[in-house]
Amino acid sequence: MPPTLLDHPLAADLLTRLRARGTSPADFRELSRRLAVVLVLEATRDLPVAQVEVRTPMAPTTGAKLWSGIVAVPVLRAGLGMLPAVLDLFPNADVGPVGLERDELTLEPREYYAKFPPLEERQVLVLDPMLATGGSGSAACAAVKRAGASDIRFVCVVAAPEGIARMEGDHPDVPIVAAAVDERLDDSGFIVPGLGDFGDRLFGTSS
């Protein structure tokens, strides 16, 4: 299925400032959190609710109680920049990080860590800011499926057409929510125009 793209001026403004090479790590972290809020709201648009009765100061009425079955799965390390937004919106969400490293020669991921809470009958948000080759995104989705997840949403900041094609081929049942789809990958597997190495910019580790 085609990705769901944010169509909101706030998201466009936040993404533009994230792309700017002069954005400091502190500002980059805050912009990432704010943009992730918009992304997560879109990804959970169909989150189930239960009808409840509530009495206002004026009269009784019917309201909604939010379902609490959210699990956030940040792909280490860059996905940690999106995690605060999930926990701000859903404080009772569980967190199951997965660690994936990219082999710079093959561009394929290697899993070095995964620890998940129960995933059956829960909505799993896989958080990975950059959907580039799609290798890490596909591997993360495969990992949560092996752990029992069936309702998965992949949430990213920027995607490349190559990554979208990989995800659609490997996981056609996983919706993708993104702020933008960029032009292409370069010879090193980085998104163009992209915004550079998200993890380095998030943690201030750029060389």
Residue type, 73: V
d(CA 17, CA 13): 6
CA dist 143 to 52, 85, 97, 191, 205, Å?
36, 23, 11, 24, 28
Does 184 qualify as catalytic in the annotation? no
Which residues lie across from 110 on neighbouring strands? Answer: 101
- For 154-168, the DSSP string reads EE-SEE-HHHHHHHH
Catalytic one among 17, 19, 77, 102? 102
Catalytic one among 27, 94, 151, 197? 197
Q: Is the pLDDT of residue 193 over 90?
A: yes
The average pLDDT across 40-46 equals 95
Average pLDDT, the chain: 93
Catalytic one among 94, 151, 170, 200? 200
Q: Is the pLDDT of residue 207 over 80?
A: no
Does 110 qualify as catalytic in the annotation? no
Does 106 qualify as catalytic in the annotation? yes
How much is the pTM? 0.93
Query: Is 17 exposed, middle or buried, given 0-12, 13-18 or 19+ CB atoms closer than 10 A?
Result: middle
d(CA 160, CA 185): 7
Catalytic one among 16, 61, 106, 205? 106
Question: Helix crossing, 161-170 with 135-146: angle to 10°?
Answer: 30
pLDDT digits (tens, 9 = 90+) for 48-89: 889 999 999 999 999 999 877 899 999 998 999 999 999 999
Does 16 qualify as catalytic in the annotation? no
The average pLDDT across 108-135 equals 93
Residues comprising the chain, all counted:
207
